[in-house]
Structure 1
Amino acid sequence: MTDIRDTFAKVYGRAPEGVWSAPGRVNLIGEHTDYNNGYVLPFAIDRRTWAAVARREDRDIHLRSTFADGEVVASLDALDPAVMEGWSAYVLGVAWAAADAGVTMDGAFGLDILIDSDVPVGAGLSSSAALECAAGAAFNDLWGWELDKIALARLGRVAENKAVGAPTGLLDQAASMLGEADHVVFLDCLTEEARPVPLHLPHEGLGILVMNSNVDHEHATGGYGERFASCALGAKELGVASLREVDRDGLERGLEVLDAETLRRVRHIVTENERVLQTVDTLAAHGPRAIGNLLNESQASMRDDFEITVPEIDLACDTAVSAGAIGARMTGGGFGGSSIALVPLEQADAIADAVRDALARAGMREPTIFTVTPSQGARRDS
C-alpha cells in the first residue's frame, strides 16, 4: 500500500486520492459453465491488483502501471473499444461499458491512475478480472455511480467481452467482487444470484495449493473461443437457449443429433453443472474433506470431454492426488495456466515437491507452486 502511494506521488507529482483493490480468483469447480448460464463455485484469493487514483481537472484518463512502460491517455468523451488495446483495455473498457449501459458520465472528471498487482499473469487466476474490478470499484466511488457489486461485475464482463474480445462469462468478475474470507461464491449464471458458501478450511487443517504450469494461456484467441462456439452449436442443435437447460435425458438425445466432438463438449457442461451442485451440498453436509472425488471427476471431464488441459496440468493433478491431495483439478479457462489441489496443510510441502519432481522427470518446465487463501473481494484500501 505504501509503495503504490509513494510510486504514484513520484509519477504524478501528488498523492493519490485513494487506493482501491480487487483479488484474482481460483475456481473451486464449475469450468466453462458460466457462459452457458450454468453454476460456478469460485473464490477470491489473497493476490490482488491495486489502483491508486486521483482526480484531474479535465476529462482525460492518464493510465500507468508498475509492470509496463509508458502512459496511456484517453478522453472520457471518446472512449471506443475498437481502439483499446493491451492491458489498458481492461480499465478503459469498464468506463466505456458503464457509459454504454446508460450510467451517466456527464459529471465525470478525468483521473490519474497507477496500477500495481501481484496476481500472476497468464496463470489462469484471472488477473484480468482483478484489474477490471479494481478499476470498477474506484470509478464507482469517485464518479458516484452507486452500483452494487454484481452490477460492477457485469461491467467488468462486458469490458472483457467487447473491449478485450474474450468471450468469458461472469464467473471471474463475480468472484473478484463478491469474495469473502474462507468462503466460495455460489453463482447461478442464469439468474445472477450469488451467495457465500463456507469452506471451513482452517478448521479442517486444509489449504489450496495452486500449481501454475507456466504454460501461458490466452482467452481472446484460440481454444477458448472454439469451446464457446461448440457450446453454442450444441445448444442450437438441441433446440435450447443455453446448455443450462440440458439434463441427462438431453444428453441421451444428443447421441442422435450431435457429432461426437460436440457431444463431448455438451456432456462436460451438463455433468460439470451437476458437480457444482453436488459440491455445494457436500460442503454443507460433510465438509471440504468429502469433495475430493468431485474435483477429480471435474479434472477428468476437462481432460477427456472438453479437452482443455495440457500434459503439464494432467501430470500435476495426478501426482498431487497420488502424493496425498484430497482432490485436484485444472482451474481457469484452460490451455495452460494453473491447477489446484485441496491438501492437508501438513502435507502441502511434500505434495508440492512431488509435483515438481514428476514434471522434472518428464522433461516439462518447472511449475510455480504456492498456497492461496479464500479472501475478501474488491474494496477501498485507503
Structure 2
Amino acid sequence: MPASEKTLEDLFRDRFGGGRDLLEATVPARSEIAGNHTDHEGGDVIGGALDVQVHAVCALNGTNMVRIESLGYQPFKIDLGNLTPQESERESTASLARGMASELVASGREPLGFDLLMESSIPSGSGLSSSAAVELAFGRAMEGLWEGEPLDAVTLAKMAQRTENNFFGKPCGLLDQLAEALGGLAHMSFANPETPATEKLALDFEDYGYALVLVNVGSDHSALTNEYAAVPNEMKQVAAAFGKERLCEVDPAAFDERVNELRRDLGDRPVLRALHYWYENDIVAQRWEALKGGDIDAFLALTRASGASSAMYLQNVSVGGAPEQPAMVALGLAQRLLEGTGACRIHGGGFGGSIQAFVPVERVERFIAGMDGWLGKGASRHYRIVSEGAGYQWL
C-alpha cells in the first residue's frame, strides 16, 4: 500500500510494530472568537473549536520511555524517571510531553512507557493553538493508557496550561487549552481561576449568512515569545500597582484616578493595555448576548470594535519599531475585499500569526482568492465550528 494511502494506525505499526492495543486521541484547534488577552487577567472569552486537529495513535511499550514521532518532524524520547522541567527542552514539543506526564503522575497515575505517532492538520504558526492541541493530545493519551479517574475538560486544560507555563516557558492564559478541551462554541469566564465558568452554544455562523475565515499572514510568531509575554506582564504591572494580581481585581474608577501616576511609573503602554482589557471584556459579554439572541449584525459591529481595540490599545498587531507589519497589511487588504460587510480582527495572541474574518457566504470564494493572491496560495481557509473537544478512544 502506498504510504499516502496508509492510515495513521498503519503508519504507527510500520514505525513501532504491531500486536498491541491502540488508543486514539484527537484534539481540535481553536479560534478565539472574542476576548483578546482577557483570560489571563480573569476576564471573559469566547472560543470556538475548529474542524482541523491533532490526531495521535499510541500504545504501551513495556519500558520506562516515551517515544514520540510527529509526521514530518524529528522523533524524540523522554525518560519517565525524570519529569522535571529541562532547560534544553524549552519551547519544544518534548517539553510538552514531559510536562503533561508530570501533571498526570501528580494526579495519582503510575507512568508507563508508550509509543505515540501523531499528525496535525492545524497550520503551524498561524495562531490556532497547535501547541495547546498537542498538550491535550498527550494528556488524553496518558489518561487512557495510565489507570486513573477520568479527567474533566477544566482539569485537563489546567494541566496543559501549567505545562506550557512551567515546561515550555510561555506565560499563556487558559483560553486555548479550555476551548479545545470543551469543543463547540463556548463562553468562558476566568474570574475564579480554579473553577472557570463555562457555557456552550450550538450555533453555526453560516445559518446567519457568514463564514469564518482565518488567514495566515505569513509571519512565524514562534520567535516572538518575549513580545507575547510582555502583554500579560504589563497588565499585571498595572494590577500590582493596586496590590492585586490581575486586572479583574482592580476597580476601573480607582485606575482612572491614578492614570497620570501609572503613566509616570510604568509608561504608556501598560496603561493602554489595561484600558484594552476593560473595554474588550465588556465587548465579550455583549458579543455573547448577541450570539445567544441571534443578532449577527450586533455581533459583527462588536467584532470590528474589538479589532480596533487590539490594534490601538493592546498593540499586538505589529511589533513596535519593526518595519514589517504583516498582520496589519493583511487586515487592510481584508477590509478592501469585504467592502464594508462582515468584520475582521487580529486573531489569538497577535504579533503575526493569523487574522480572523467573518465573510458573507456569497463572498467567501472571492475573499479567499483575493487574500491568497496577495499572501500566497493556501494562506486563507474557510473553517467550521465542531462540537467535540479533546477526547480519546480505544481502537
What is the TM-score when the length of structure 2 is the normalising length? Answer: 0.88
Tell me, yes or no, if the aligned pair for 1:219 and 1:225 is still in contact at 8 Å.
Answer: no
Establish whether residue 338 from structure 1 lines up as the match of residue 346 from structure 2.
Answer: no
Q: CA RMSD in A?
A: 2.1
The corresponding residue for 2:128 is 125
Counterpart amino acid of 1:227? V
Cα distance change of structure 1 residues 223 and 347 upon mapping to structure 2, 3 Å threshold: same
Cα distance change of structure 1 residues 207 and 242 upon mapping to structure 2, 3 Å threshold: same
Q: CA deviation at 1:246?
A: 3.6
Aligned length: 370
The corresponding residue for 1:378 is 390
Tell me, yes or no, if the aligned pair for 1:21 and 1:51 is still in contact at 8 Å.
Answer: yes
Q: CA deviation at 1:322?
A: 4.1
Q: CA deviation at 1:51?
A: 1.4
Counterpart amino acid of 1:371? H
What is the alpha-carbon distance in structure 1 between the residues aligned to residue 224 and residue 327 of structure 2? 21
What is the alpha-carbon distance in structure 2 between the residues aligned to residue 291 and residue 21 of structure 1? 30
What is the alpha-carbon distance in structure 1 between the residues aligned to residue 176 and residue 254 of structure 2? 28
What is the alpha-carbon distance in structure 2 between the residues aligned to residue 58 and residue 367 of structure 1? 42
What is the alpha-carbon distance in structure 2 between the residues aligned to residue 36 and residue 293 of structure 1? 24
Cα distance change of structure 1 residues 220 and 131 upon mapping to structure 2, 3 Å threshold: farther
Q: CA deviation at 1:187?
A: 0.8
Establish whether residue 150 from structure 1 lines up as the match of residue 151 from structure 2.
Answer: no
Counterpart amino acid of 1:133? L
Q: CA deviation at 1:247?
A: 5.2
Cα distance change of structure 1 residues 254 and 47 upon mapping to structure 2, 3 Å threshold: farther
The corresponding residue for 1:350 is 366
Establish whether residue 368 from structure 1 lines up as the match of residue 379 from structure 2.
Answer: yes
Q: CA deviation at 1:251?
A: 4.1
Tell me, yes or no, if the aligned pair for 1:272 and 1:298 is still in contact at 8 Å.
Answer: yes
Structural mapping, 1:175-194, within 5 Å: 175-180=179-184, 184-191=185-192, 192-194=196-198
What is the alpha-carbon distance in structure 1 between the residues aligned to residue 62 and residue 79 of structure 2? 12
What secondary structure is seen at the aligned counterpart in 2 of 1:147? coil
Q: CA deviation at 1:138?
A: 1.4
What secondary structure is seen at the aligned counterpart in 2 of 1:238? coil
**Alignment equivalent of 2:108, drawn from 78, 96, 104:** 104
Percent identical residues? 26
Establish whether residue 297 from structure 1 lines up as the match of residue 305 from structure 2.
Answer: yes
What secondary structure is seen at the aligned counterpart in 2 of 1:130? helix
Q: CA deviation at 1:199?
A: 2.8
Establish whether residue 9 from structure 1 lines up as the match of residue 13 from structure 2.
Answer: yes
What is the alpha-carbon distance in structure 1 between the residues aligned to residue 261 and residue 21 of structure 2? 59
What secondary structure is seen at the aligned counterpart in 2 of 1:140? helix
The corresponding residue for 2:64 is 59
The corresponding residue for 2:343 is 327
What is the alpha-carbon distance in structure 2 between the residues aligned to residue 319 and residue 220 of structure 1? 24
Q: Deviations over 1:188-223 (max 9, x none)?
A: 122312111233323223210101101010277321
Tell me, yes or no, if the aligned pair for 1:20 and 1:379 is still in contact at 8 Å.
Answer: yes
Q: CA deviation at 1:285?
A: 2.2
Q: CA deviation at 1:76?
A: 1.6
What is the alpha-carbon distance in structure 2 between the residues aligned to residue 27 and residue 235 of structure 1? 24
Establish whether residue 262 from structure 1 lines up as the match of residue 270 from structure 2.
Answer: yes
The corresponding residue for 1:82 is 86
Structure 2: gaps (5+ residues): 319-324
What secondary structure is seen at the aligned counterpart in 2 of 1:81? coil
What secondary structure is seen at the aligned counterpart in 2 of 1:163? helix
Tell me, yes or no, if the aligned pair for 2:204 and 2:385 is still in contact at 8 Å.
Answer: no
What secondary structure is seen at the aligned counterpart in 2 of 1:74? strand
What secondary structure is seen at the aligned counterpart in 1 of 2:221? coil
Tell me, yes or no, if the aligned pair for 1:26 and 1:125 is still in contact at 8 Å.
Answer: yes
What is the alpha-carbon distance in structure 1 between the residues aligned to residue 224 and residue 301 of structure 2? 32
Tell me, yes or no, if the aligned pair for 1:329 and 1:340 is still in contact at 8 Å.
Answer: yes
Structure 1 window deviating more from structure 2 (46-55 vs 364-373): it is 364-373
Cα distance change of structure 1 residues 366 and 252 upon mapping to structure 2, 3 Å threshold: farther
What is the alpha-carbon distance in structure 2 between the residues aligned to residue 380 and residue 308 of structure 1? 35
Q: CA deviation at 1:288?
A: 2.9
The corresponding residue for 2:328 is 314
What is the alpha-carbon distance in structure 2 between the residues aligned to residue 135 and residue 212 of structure 1? 26
Q: Deviations over 1:7-35 (max 9, x none)?
A: 10110011661211101111011011111
What is the alpha-carbon distance in structure 1 between the residues aligned to residue 164 and residue 72 of structure 2? 20
Counterpart amino acid of 1:222? N
Q: CA deviation at 1:330?
A: 0.8
Q: CA deviation at 1:67?
A: 2.2
What is the TM-score when the length of structure 1 is the normalising length? Answer: 0.91
